Amino acid sequence: MSDPSSINGGSALAMVGKECIAIACDLRLGNQSLGLSNNFEKLFQFGDKTFLGLTGLATDVLTLSETFRFKNNLYELREERSIEPSTLANLVSSTLYEKRFGPYFVGPIVAGLNSKTNEPFICGFDSIGCIDFAKDFIVSGTASDQLYGMCESLYEPGLEPEDLFETISQALLNAVDRDALSGWGAVVYLVTKDKVTKRVLRTRQD
Amino acid sequence: MDIILGIKVEDGTIIATSKAATRGISVLKDSDDKTRALNARNLIAYTGESGDTVQFAEFIQANIQLYSMRENDIELSPKATASFVRNQLATSLRSRKPYQVNVLIAGYDTKTDTASLNWIDYLGTQVELPYGAHGYAAFYANSLLDKHYRKNMKIEEGLGLLKLCLKELETRMPIDFKGVYVKVVDKDGIRSIEGY
């Protein structure tokens, strides 16, 4: 009931395809059972082809998204290039571990393409920054159990961008419909080597 | 069980706050104003732990006014004001004794000519909403507003909608909240609406 990571609700998901990745999240922000907003995006872009998803306690989602925006801006000024997905993953990890004994209640995920090789990269974290590397998919949020089920049954390796979009959308949509704290709209970002497409999905509104 | 309610309309934002100040089973006062003007076009309405509420609201008020004095009479935008308040609450949450204050911030941005309503709770959860409320009132008010709220409503229509919400709250809330103070924030500033 008063578990910080399930007060506000929300879920996110990332998948690897053939020379592409997709990352998606729902749009709900609630206060326990009461839905407050259907326009609360949990995905944040860093550089051209890297995304960070943040689920969990909304105040920490906001605090961390601002912290990483700040750290990324400094990184870009210092290095004069945009951050690599794997570098962002280590930045997220060390930032979370700084609060080892009083953590941010979030479940971050990172997805992107390497700026030079376009090699897909995805990973997830626990609330104190332990990185979970994966080569297929990463789930996070209050519907994570349902997302694991959907991904295990729908995912196949080496999907083309448009097929990956269909797979990630169906996985997310059907998972959040079985979770009272997630849903109320969804967005999907599809990242290929020369393009990022954002699609807003029509979902059940209950 | 304090009531604070906010409705954003096309050219302004309406805020209603209950007049009752309760402590345990007693109503101590029937003319309690749960709002503070932060600057010319930003109004904060608050509920929560008594003591914390006024202390926090006046702390925010003083800092927003200090900003205007230092920065050559530049007024902080509603977006900046809300971010500042959120940041204070989020920082306070992880301190020894967090402020237990929930707020609504009604604002009007003269640069973009847009009204806004920001919902922020004691955790530092911030959202920009078309309409919102804190506490039990949110359950009744939200369901009514979900049905009747329309974009591009005028202030008069918004006040009509507010009447509808208050009528429902009077019938459904278990204790008398002694009516409400109603304030509107628009391009001309903050003004009270009488007769509620």
Q: Give per-residue pLDDT as tens, B106-160.
A: 999 999 999 999 999 999 999 999 999 999 999 999 999 999 999 999 999 999 9
The distance of A108 to chain B (nearest Cα, Å) reads 18
- β-strand pairing of B180-186 with B35-39: unpaired
Tell me the C-alpha distance between B25 and A156, whole Å: 61
Instruction: Say how far apart CA B152 and CA B160 lie, in whole Å.
Output: 14
Q: Compute the average pLDDT of residues A158-179.
A: 98
Question: Do B129 and A62 lie within an 8 Å CB cutoff?
Answer: no
Measured between beta carbons, the chain B residues lying within 8 angstroms of A29 are: 125, 127
Q: How far is B145 from chain A (nearest CA, A)?
A: 12
Residues 6+ apart with CB under 8 A from B182: B14, B15, B16, B159, B162, B192, B193, B196
Q: What is the structure's pLDDT at A183?
A: 98
Q: Which residues pair with B9 in a beta bridge?
A: B12
Residue A73, pLDDT above cutoff 70: yes
Q: What is the mean pLDDT of chain B?
A: 97
Q: Where are the beta strands (DSSP E) in chain B?
A: 4-9, 12-18, 21-23, 26-29, 35-39, 42-48, 101-109, 114-120, 126-128, 131-134, 180-186, 189-193
Q: What is the DSSP string of B139-152?
A: HHHHHHHHHH--TT
Those of residues 154-193 in A touching chain B at CB distance below 8 A are none
User: How far apart, in whole angstroms, are the C-alpha atoms of residue A107 and residue A55?
Assistant: 5
Helix (H, G, I), strand (E, B) or coil at A201: strand
By CB atoms closer than 10 A (0-12, 13-18, 19+), residue A145 is exposed
Q: Any idea what DSSP says for residue A119?
A: -
CB contact under 8 A, A62 and B142: no
Distance from CA of A142 to the nearest CA of B (A): 17
Chain B residue with Cα closest to A57: B125
How far from the centroid of its chain's Cα atoms is residue A106's Cα?
Answer: 11
Q: Are residues B127 and A40, on separate chains, in Cβ contact within 8 Å?
A: yes
Helix (H, G, I), strand (E, B) or coil at B172: helix
| For residue B30, pLDDT beyond 80 | yes
Strand partners, B119: B104, B127
> A62, B126: Cβ pair inside 8 Å?
yes
What percent of chain B is modeled with pLDDT above 70?
A: 100
Angle at CA of residue B50, ends B117 and B52, nearest 5°: 70
A58, B139: Cβ pair inside 8 Å?
Answer: no
pLDDT-derived band at A1, boundaries 50, 70, 90: low
Q: Is A6 on the interface with B (CB under 8 A)?
A: no
* Chain A residues touching B93 at Cβ < 8 A: 59
Span A96-106, pLDDT tens digits: 999 999 999 99
Q: Rounded distance, CA A12 to CA A66, Å?
A: 19
> What SS3 state is found at B89?
helix
Q: How confident is the model at residue B39 (pLDDT cuts 50, 70, 90)?
A: very high
Range A147-157 average pLDDT: 98
pLDDT at B1 > cutoff 80? no
Cβ-based neighbours of B45, under 8 Å, separated by 6 or more: B4, B6, B15, B17, B34, B35, B103, B104, B105, B106
Give the pLDDT score at A41.
98
Tell me the one-letter amino acid at B130. P
Element housing B85 (H / E): helix B78-93
Give the pair of three-digit tokens for residue B58: 């006046």
H-state helical runs in chain A: 58-79, 85-97, 144-154, 161-176
pLDDT surpasses 70 at A28: yes
pLDDT value of position B54: 98
Interchain pair A59, B90: CB under 8 A? yes
Q: How far apart are CA A179 and CA B124, in angstroms?
A: 24
Question: In which element (H, E) is residue B78 found?
Answer: helix B78-93
pTM higher than 0.80 for the full model?
yes
Helix or strand (DSSP H, E) at B155: helix B155-172
Q: What is the pLDDT of residue B196?
A: 85
| CB A115 within 8 Å of CB A84 | yes
